[in-house]
Amino acid sequence: MGRVRIGTCSWADRTMIERWYPPEASTPAARLRYYAERFDTVEADAPFYAIPDRRVVENWAKRTPEGFTFHVKAFGMMTQHAVDERALHPELREYPHAVERGRVKRPSQEMVDLAFDLFLESIEPLEESGRLGGILMQFPPFFTALDEALREENLAYIDYARTKLGKRLMLVEFRHPSWVDESRVRDTLGFLADRDITYVAVDAPQFPTNTTMPPLVTATNKTGYVRLHGRNRETYFARNISAADRFDYLYTGEELEEWAPRVRKLAQDTETTYVMFNNCKYDYAPRNAREFAEMLGPDLTAPLEQRVDAQLGLGL
């Protein structure tokens, strides 16, 4: 059985800083070190909004111990999201592009190609230090499989992204349930498995209209990945609010218990499974992450060498 590693989808949200960190963790460096003393993996979601400065990423690597893993959310242009023109990398500004209400839409293929290249260059320090986990490709709700022509077009884009990312671990999160409805789920999962792409399982609020992804958990390669977004129906589709406000939700013990058998099964089918809490309002994410780790127990969450040592000590 593989190991389960648990963390959060941010370590620097403003409300998390105010509620979770002690007063002495008053700088970005101190906060990341404090986080890395308590968890061994994190998701960097800020790159979704802007390609990070390489020097910032170098500091992430320097401030975390060996064995710590960063998953990085792809820049929005790489997953067909409209992005804030003010956040464009200087080299991207040189390309002609359409702007609607301050957001870049319908970028040229050359612009998207460069966005991938600049993004991958920016996260090289994580690769070079052995701290890069997966690159999260979270596609928007309008990226669907509702008809065959659209499905083929979107699958071709995933193929393109797979080529651009090379051998790096690619994590795909769909946000429209058409990808996993009864008529398409086998083909979707087979497509990902054939390309060594991890299907990202999600927990999200469910609606009668079936507008969010169901909690499907399955392995498409040796790495499992789960993102828990909370179940706040009132804010999940809200516009013009912060990510922390969108995912303002504290899981109950009973709700976490629903995920324990699913994660145990995923761990049986993978070498490593990551469970990442995206309910980053206040101290909710680290609190739920710690609760879930205790729920699973050290037989799953401890490194393999520690589990072997424990078994030897018990004469097992």
In tens, the pLDDT along 270-289 reads: 999 999 999 999 999 999 99
> What distance in Å separates the CA atoms of residue 297 and residue 316, rounded to the nearest whole number?
18
Phi and psi based region of residue 102 (left: phi greater than 0; alpha: psi -120 to 50; beta: remaining) = left
pLDDT value for 240: 82
In terms of Cα–Cα distance, which of 244, 233, 238 is closest to 279? 244
Q: Is the pLDDT of residue 97 over 80?
A: yes
> What distance in Å separates the CA atoms of residue 277 and residue 247, rounded to the nearest whole number?
10
pLDDT value for 315: 42
Strand ranges inside 26-77, DSSP E:
41-44, 69-73
The pLDDT confidence band at residue 306, using thresholds 50, 70 and 90, is: low
Question: Taking the CB of residue 311, how many other CB atoms lie within 10 A of it?
Answer: 11
> What distance in Å separates the CA atoms of residue 242 and residue 108, rounded to the nearest whole number?
29
- For 313, residues 6+ apart whose C-beta sits below 8 A from its C-beta are none
Give the mean model confidence (pLDDT) for residues 257-271.
98
- For 156, residues 6+ apart whose C-beta sits below 8 A from its C-beta are none
Distance of CA 9 to the CA centre of its chain: 7
Nearest-5° Cα angle at 289, 181 to 209: 25
Q: Is the pLDDT of residue 243 over 90?
A: no
The pLDDT confidence band at residue 201, using thresholds 50, 70 and 90, is: very high
Q: Which residue has the higher pLDDT, 1 or 140?
A: 140
Q: What is the pTM of this model?
A: 0.94
> What distance in Å separates the CA atoms of residue 277 and residue 9, rounded to the nearest whole number?
6
In terms of Cα–Cα distance, which of 130, 158, 129, 132 is closest to 145? 158
Strand partners for 8: 42, 277
Spatial contact of 204 and 278, defined as CB atoms under 8 Å apart: no
Give the mean model confidence (pLDDT) for residues 29-34.
98
Average pLDDT, the chain: 94
pLDDT value for 314: 42
Classified as helix, coil or strand, 273 is strand
In terms of Cα–Cα distance, which of 229, 236, 235 is closest to 285? 229
Q: Is the pLDDT of residue 316 over 70?
A: no
The pLDDT confidence band at residue 239, using thresholds 50, 70 and 90, is: confident
Domain coordinates in residue numbering, the chain = 3-313
Nearest-5° Cα angle at 81, 76 to 83: 65
pLDDT tens track for 164-199: 999 999 999 999 999 999 999 999 999 999 999 999
Q: Is the pLDDT of residue 58 over 80?
A: yes
Q: Which CATH superfamily is domain 3-313 in?
A: Protein of unknown function UPF0759 (3.20.20.410)
- For 98, residues 6+ apart whose C-beta sits below 8 A from its C-beta are 104, 105, 106
What is the side-by-side order of every strand in the sheet holding 98-100? 83-84, 103-105, 98-100
Question: Taking the CB of residue 315, how many other CB atoms lie within 10 A of it?
Answer: 5
> What distance in Å separates the CA atoms of residue 140 and residue 202, rounded to the nearest whole number?
14
Distance of CA 174 to the CA centre of its chain: 11
Query: Quick one: what percent of the chain has pLDDT higher than 70?
Result: 96
pLDDT tens track for 119-167: 999 999 999 999 999 999 999 999 999 999 999 999 999 999 999 999 9
